[in-house]
Structure 1
Amino acid sequence: MTDQISLKPWTGDDMPVLERSNTPEMTTFLGGPETGEQLLKRQANFLRLWEDGEARMFTVNAASEEIPVGSVGYWKTKWADAEVYEAGWSVATAYQGRGFASMALAACLQHAATYGDREQVVAFPRIDNRASNSLCKSVGFCFRGEEDFEYPKGNPIRVNAWLYDLSSLRIGRADVSIVR
């Protein structure tokens, strides 16, 4: 039986979710762990961007677990001269391999289709990040090729560009499990 997940809007109490994902293993493809100061800044940005309507960040909550297993979200950006969303996700090591990332990303895309104002979502996993590239493919993103990228700022990397067309989700308007 598959565990059920729900997404909860990011709050001021969600710093532990960032801390659980801030390990060398979890940040291998993201430039390594952040300092405490950088995590505080990220937390403040998540809250500010939600308030400003620029991003929607969520905790990923599994019915079988007492604490959030990770995070997922989308934010406004520009790619290939188009106004799009970019998606990002993280599932803590202890909870990986149970399908939480794919369920959370699918729910996040449904949220963007239902409540967002853009037609497409992009994701940019590093070319050597097999798990994230496989996730993009399994959820239905279309591979658009390799690109030069910078993450974190000042650190050039090579990424795969993946694109998801939200129009297919807008047809059915499936339920999105967002707990307020």
Structure 2
Amino acid sequence: MAQVRITPWSEDDLALLRRLNAPEVRAHTGGSETDEQVLSRHERYVQFAGTGKGCMFTVVLPDGAKVGSVGYWDREWRGEQVYEMGWAVLPEHQGQGLATAAVRAVAAAARDRRTRRFAHAYPSVGNPASNAVCRKAGFTLLGEIDFEYPPGELMRSNDWRLDLTTAVERT
């Protein structure tokens, strides 16, 4: 399994977020954002940890290189309070198991909070890589849904659920 660590998002991570805004990274999540939207997102990520509603993290390689983002946040889903999870990895680091390792690490962080039983992820049905991350990270596929993302737009997604009361198998 790939080795990564996750660190809480900081002011120093704006350059990474700009790189993650590339069309090939954002192809399944509504496309690239304007610089104003990226700056706003960065500020939300920096402030997020102090809210108690989730946390965004930077995905860091053993050599210190920042290669992605991963996080969890509160969401109401079908009448239940759950965490939603999301992630992105720079194109040159995709396909190496880094996203799966990062999702497992963020699931452990969410699990340690002991505030939600389930976490969900909603990758587009047309995004085989993110769906594979869910499967490899121990999520259960509940089926296809229409999911609103970005706000105001529906996309066909898979609803993946992870039970945070059970340990994640390390494979």
Instruction: Give the TM-score taking structure 2 as reference length.
Output: 0.94
Separation in structure 1 between the aligned mates of residue 75 and residue 2 of structure 2, nearest angstrom: 32
Q: 2:123: which partner in 1?
A: 125
Q: Are residue 26 (structure 1) and residue 25 (structure 2) matched?
A: yes
CA offsets per residue over residues 116-149 of structure 1, 9 Å max, x none? 4111100000111110011101111000111111
Any unmatched runs of 5+ in structure 1?
Answer: 175-180
**3-state SS of paired residue (2:107):** helix
Separation in structure 2 between the aligned mates of residue 116 and residue 77 of structure 1, nearest angstrom: 15
**3-state SS of paired residue (2:88):** strand
Any unmatched runs of 5+ in structure 2?
Answer: none
Separation in structure 1 between the aligned mates of residue 106 and residue 38 of structure 2, nearest angstrom: 22
Separation in structure 2 between the aligned mates of residue 31 and residue 52 of structure 1, nearest angstrom: 26
Distance 1:3 1:138, change over 3 A: closer
Alignment check: 8 A CA contact 1:46 1:55 kept: no
CA offsets per residue over residues 140-176 of structure 1, 9 Å max, x none? 1000111111111111111100000011129x9x9xx
What fraction of aligned residue pairs are identical, expressed as a percent?
39
Separation in structure 2 between the aligned mates of residue 158 and residue 50 of structure 1, nearest angstrom: 30
Q: 1:99: which partner in 2?
A: 97
Alignment check: 8 A CA contact 1:3 1:62 kept: no
Separation in structure 2 between the aligned mates of residue 113 and residue 29 of structure 1, nearest angstrom: 27
**3-state SS of paired residue (1:167):** coil
Separation in structure 2 between the aligned mates of residue 100 and residue 72 of structure 1, nearest angstrom: 11
Alignment check: 8 A CA contact 1:6 1:62 kept: yes
Q: 1:157: which partner in 2?
A: 155
Instruction: Give the TM-score taking structure 1 as reference length.
Output: 0.89
Q: 1:38: which partner in 2?
A: 37
